[in-house]
Amino acid sequence: MAAMSWPTQDELDKIRGIVSEMAGKGTEDVRVVVSPYRICPLGAHIDHQGGIVSAMTINKGILLGFVPSGNTQRVIENEYLGLRNGILDQSAILLSSHGCLTYMNCKTTEHKLIHPLNFLKDHETEPQKGYKILLAFSGLRQALTSNPGYNSRVAECQEAAKILLHASGNGELEPFLCNVEPESYEAHKVKLEPNLARRAEHYFSENMRVSKGLEAWASGELRQFGQLMSASGLSSIKNYECGCEPLIQLYEVLLRAPGVFGARFSGAGFRGCCVALVDTDCVAEAAKFVREEYPKLQPVLASQLNPDTAVLICEAGDCARVI
């Protein structure tokens, strides 16, 4: 991984030109922003179905072109790139605030920032503990747009919604799982074939984890929040059936690392990295553990990573900023 350097004016102008062409806007409408990396500890994979999600940003920025216009970013991703994603990424990047969990209802676009109480470890009588975020890279670099798995899962979720809505007498509604009432899901889920049943189970169970996670975060219960985060990761593997051997192994290594409250895939789960919430006092030890253990399982992929950046210790970040 080459060292990072600030782009030249010519490079920035090139970014503006590309984004301008993709969005159908003039170059004068394009702004360059410093954008933090987005993580979704709870609610991944359900934004495209109008689910509820929770997200944060971390203090590892990247440069990108951004057009400040309504749904332009989704036009680029959905129509130009052909990725059938929802509003999670761009919303989290724009709405996040340092130290807060950003809640979003992807159906209604309602959103709010959840401010935590002082974090406690197990009991109020114990010393207060903070958290850090570990971002661990697998060495996989395949883009979502070149992997049919993401769009296939979206189509499966919509097919499940269509069946459930028809069974409940609401077949006129758009086939999104957010339009299926939880009671109707419970009543009619037996009508779903196994793979569609697993997709729907991930959606509805993930919505419940988000709701419980918001309460845990607001009350400072890091350990409970982390357990929900890990359960979300497991559901992504078992029910949403994303990930691959290296990512699953990396997820399992993180769960064994000292001081980890919880972990899951990051980057939609079809390539890339895993994220973990870690006790501040143990974060250096946890990072060292992952650096040592993952290469034992995936020596070839690990050898392609820069040892200095294979595992990053991060802080909660803020929203994107125009430069």
Domain edges within the chain: 9-322
pLDDT per position as a tens digit, 16-48: 888 787 777 788 777 777 778 888 899 888 888
What average pLDDT does the segment 179-198 reach? Answer: 97
SS3 labels along 170-195 = CCCCCCCHHHCCHHHHHHHHHHCCHH
pLDDT of residue 92: 76
**Rounded-to-integer distance, Cα 190 and Cα 219, Å:** 37
Multiple choice CATH, 9-322, 3.40.50.970, 3.30.70.890, 1.10.1660.10, 3.30.930.10: 3.30.70.890
Our answer to whether residue 89 is catalytic in this structure is yes
Identify the band that residue 141 occupies on the pLDDT scale cut at 50, 70 and 90.
confident
Query: Judging by beta carbons within 10 Å of its beta carbon (0-12, 13-18, 19+), is residue 97 exposed, middle or buried?
Result: middle
For residues 64-77, one letter each, b for 16 or more C-beta atoms within 10 angstroms of the residue's C-beta and e for the rest, the string is: ebbbeeeebbebbb
pLDDT per position as a tens digit, 271-318: 588 999 999 999 999 999 999 999 999 999 999 999 889 999 998 888
pLDDT per position as a tens digit, 56-91: 888 876 666 555 444 444 444 444 444 445 577 777
Length of the chain counted residue by residue = 323
Helix extents (H) in 137-282: 148-167, 182-188, 194-218, 222-238, 245-256
- The backbone torsions φ and ψ at residue 136, rounded to the nearest 5 degrees and listed phi first, read -115, 130
| 3-state SS class at 113 | strand
pLDDT per position as a tens digit, 98-120: 888 999 998 998 989 988 765 54
**Strands 31-42 and 52-66, how do they pair?**
antiparallel
Q: Are 210 and 225 in contact (CB under 8 A)?
A: no
**Rounded-to-integer distance, Cα 140 and Cα 74, Å:** 25
Q: Are 189 and 226 in contact (CB under 8 A)?
A: no
Torsional class of 222: left (φ above 0), alpha (ψ -120 to 50), beta (otherwise): alpha
Of 300 and 124, more confident: 300
The helix-helix angle for 194-218 and 148-167 (nearest 10°) equals: 100
Share of the chain above pLDDT 90, in %: 49
Q: Are 41 and 213 in contact (CB under 8 A)?
A: yes
Average pLDDT, the chain: 83
- CA 139 vs. chain centroid, Å, equals 18
Question: Which residue, chain included where needed, has tokens 């990047």?
Answer: 93
What average pLDDT does the segment 185-189 reach? Answer: 97
**Rounded-to-integer distance, Cα 84 and Cα 87, Å:** 10
pLDDT per position as a tens digit, 207-253: 999 999 999 999 889 999 999 999 999 999 999 998 889 999 999 99
Residue 243: CA count within 13 A, CB half-sphere:
25
**Model confidence at 127: pLDDT above 50:** no
DSSP designation for 76: I
Catalytic-role residue among 10, 29, 89, 281: 89
pLDDT of residue 119: 53
Question: Which residue, chain included where needed, has tokens 């010519």?
Answer: 10
pLDDT of residue 97: 86
**Model confidence at 200: pLDDT above 90:** yes
pLDDT of residue 75: 45
Distances (CA, A) of 76 to 21, 72, 215, 261: 10, 6, 35, 36
- The backbone torsions φ and ψ at residue 132, rounded to the nearest 5 degrees and listed phi first, read -125, 170
pLDDT of residue 33: 75
